[in-house]
Amino acid sequence: MKLHVDRAYVGAEYTRGLLTQGTELISKARGLAANDGYFDKSDFKIDLRAKTATCPAGQSVPITLGQVARFNPETCAACPLRVICTSAAASHGRTLSIAADEPLQRRLRKLSDSRSGRAWQRARVAIEHRLAHHAQKQGRFARYRGLRKNLLDSRRHAAVLNLEVLHARQAA
């Protein structure tokens, strides 16, 4: 079984439960944060088996999933690559955030780099556009109290969107 989800739901308890049952997860990986011209996470060698992270200059530190890896400040201060690695004070070394689901995020990035993963993402674009259009019409927040009324409101907006599509096709 395959589960196609938005990246916001990758860490959800329900999703994790399905993964433990052997469901294949299809999703985009979380984006890597831009680092203003400094080395980003992809420039570091993260070995999940050995539980180490190695910087571009060769310094290795132990890592724990869901924790921040901290490089030795003295070694970082003497490093010739420091100016393109970190903007931290000289008394602080570089830090690297390791996600709790780092192995899963790595697998999802690898899927996105494959031909089939890119094809899935292209097919998903149309769905994302329809969902964005629906959210634009309905708004970001629920209008009513209670699931039943909001479900009806969501379905009403979906029906209006479908009628707009039919009208546009008929006019063309």
Position 163, amino acid: L
Q: With H, G, I as helix, E, B as strand and everything else as coil, classify residue 59.
A: coil
Q: Which residues contact 10 (CB under 8 A, 6 or more apart)?
A: 25, 27, 30, 101, 104, 108
Cβ atoms within 10 Å, residue 35? 15
pTM, whole model, 2 decimals? 0.70
pLDDT tens per residue across span 120-157: 888 888 878 888 888 888 888 888 999 999 999 999 99
* Burial 102-127, CB ≥16 within 10 A → b, else e: bebbeebbebeeeeebeebeeeeeee
Domain boundaries, the chain: 1-30, 41-104, 115-172
Q: How much is the pLDDT for 155?
A: 92
